[in-house]
Amino acid sequence: MRKTVLVFALCSLFIAGPALADQLYVKLNLKIWDREKVGDGEGTLYGKFSFTSNDAKKDDAIKEIGWMTLQPGASIGMHKHEDNEDAYIIVAGKGVFTDSNGKETPVKAGDITVTRKGESHALKNTGKKPLKFLEVVAAQQ
């Protein structure tokens, strides 16, 4: 009986998955999008996304949201946000955030960075453990 209930529950998740896609993004179904040398940075930016800017609808304010990881020594190079805004919510590790003016500030778990339209930023893992953060990219309509 328990096996039957488990199989039914799993099948329901697979069937309901697409119907929930606009509001719920289950960890097991996140899209992997790893990128090398982002913004001319170093190493790999590992990402697991609910959706990316390639998938977002034109009228959606949130264009991209994902769990990101930079290994020790890896970085996202300085880059400008012409048409959108970008927020990093640091959840683990240590790093250095660089703002539009080139000011470098240490960041750690609990810190939030916001880069507005027209501004630039960079992020580097300066710690000995992975730097993990949630990235949210949004654009005004």
What token pair was written down for 45?
A: 């930016």
pLDDT at residue 18, rounded to an integer: 46
pLDDT at residue 36, rounded to an integer: 98
Q: What is the CATH number of the domain that holds 124?
A: 2.60.120.10
Task: Please check whether residue 15 lies inside any domain of the structure.
Answer: no
Tell me the average confidence (pLDDT) per consecutive run of 10 residues in the chain, 141 residues long.
45 45 88 97 98 91 97 98 97 98 98 98 98 96 69
Task: Please check whether residue 4 lies inside any domain of the structure.
Answer: no
Q: Which residues are CB-contacts of 65 (< 8 A; sequence separation ≥ 6)?
A: 49, 50, 51, 134, 135, 136, 137
How far apart are the C-alpha atoms of 75 and 38, rounded to whole Å? 8
Per DSSP, the chain holds a count of helices (H) and strands (E) of 1, 11
Task: Please check whether residue 100 lies inside any domain of the structure.
Answer: yes
For residue 14, count other CB atoms closer than 10 A to its CB. Answer: 9
pLDDT at residue 2, rounded to an integer: 52
* Tally of residues, the chain: 141
pTM: 0.83
Task: Please check whether residue 16 lies inside any domain of the structure.
Answer: no
How far apart are the C-alpha atoms of 58 and 51, rounded to whole Å? 13
> How far does the chain reach from its first CA to its final CA, in angstroms?
52
Task: Please check whether residue 13 lies inside any domain of the structure.
Answer: no
pLDDT at residue 22, rounded to an integer: 77
pLDDT at residue 1, rounded to an integer: 52
How far apart are the C-alpha atoms of 84 and 86, rounded to whole Å? 7
State the residue range of the domain holding 44: 24-138
How far apart are the C-alpha atoms of 45 and 75, rounded to whole Å? 8
How far apart are the C-alpha atoms of 73 and 130, rounded to whole Å? 9
When divided into structural domains, the chain yields a total of 1
